[in-house]
Structure 1
């Protein structure tokens, strides 16, 4: 089992460094929920189906991420507070290459 260190800044501006497992097929949204870094019911509302943008985050580090899917791109096209570095946390799966990933949660809609 290998964990990676993630640095997640919550919606109040507090940065949390957490160890996320790479062997559980978790995504970033699930990690944020597991560590309770957003109030319950405010993140992952659609269950990780790229249909709500409640898990939108800003990628603050230079990590190479998988290409954005059509569904993720379409959802972000309709979301609020979108920036060039916006991604949906539910579409970013935790892998070894995410060591020291830095993300900031987008404001709640």
Structure 2
């Protein structure tokens, strides 16, 4: 699960950088069992979770995605939680509004 949390954190940081350097719109679309990285309307990466893992994205329920402007600011800040039902901890990934800074924490239940 730690590998998944690190990969998602890196992917969020990467699309922020790509949005600033290439001037294209990149976004990550979340569902409970996977996330997709899109450039415009084209999907170029899909990450599926294992059966006992899930993604919770409470701040993104209305629009289940995160995207960045050309200046590197996210369309909204919020938290993504990666859980594994068989473990006593989870990972919380926070996207800071306005700056786009991405931080990852391990939280004990």
Bigger CA radius of gyration: 2
Structure showing the higher strand proportion among its residues: 2
TM-score relative to the length of structure 2:
0.28
Q: TM-score, normalised by structure 1?
A: 0.28
Asked which structure has the greater RCO (Cα within 8 Å, sep 6+), the reply is: 1
